[in-house]
Amino acid sequence: MIEKIKELRELTSAGVKECKKALEEAEGDLDKALKILKERGVQISQKKKGRQTKEGVIDAYVHFGRNLGALVEINCETDFVARTEVFRNFAKDIAMQVAAANPKYLTKEEIPQEVLEKVEDKDVFVRENCLLSQIFVKDTSKTVEDYLKEVISQTKENIVIKRFVRFSLGE
């Protein structure tokens, strides 16, 4: 049981008690425990959604050739979380995502109706142009929104991607 708890912690970064409880509920089945923890992460992120986010960081990513870069503002509830490695890595990853995938909007709701009306395949357009709907460049098994929910679950605070901008030399 201890080995499974350890493995589950490595996979999810969840706390020992959370991993143990999920494994007990799943009767020792690691896959079921992962699903339970993921569902709890979603529940936690839903509970945190309404909280104010006045702290955070502005982070940047500049590509190797210095011809492409991105700036992001990521907000959280407390400066304590803003200083954590998990939060800072998240901000850096989101800046890299913006530079690599060039999203135009944060969410589907931000897309002007006249733009959506001109698009043939709306689902594909949303997946390619909305940051939260994009496949995460560092782990293609999840979306940016999934990654955000994981970080909210780990930090136990509401986290918001406030704004972002991508720069490309000559554009």
Regarding whether 61 and 40 lie in a shared domain, the answer is no
Domain extent, residue 11, equals 2-48
Condensed to tens digits (0 to 9), the pLDDT of residues 123-134 reads 999 999 999 999
**CATH number, residue 114:** 3.30.479.20
Condensed to tens digits (0 to 9), the pLDDT of residues 83-124 reads 999 999 999 999 999 999 999 999 999 999 999 999 999 999
Q: What is the pTM of this model?
A: 0.73
61 token code pair: 């990513």
Contacts (Cβ under 8 Å, ≥6 apart) of 16: 5, 9
Among residues 76, 132, 78, 146, the alpha carbon closest in space to that of 104 is found at 132
Total number of domains constituting the chain? 2
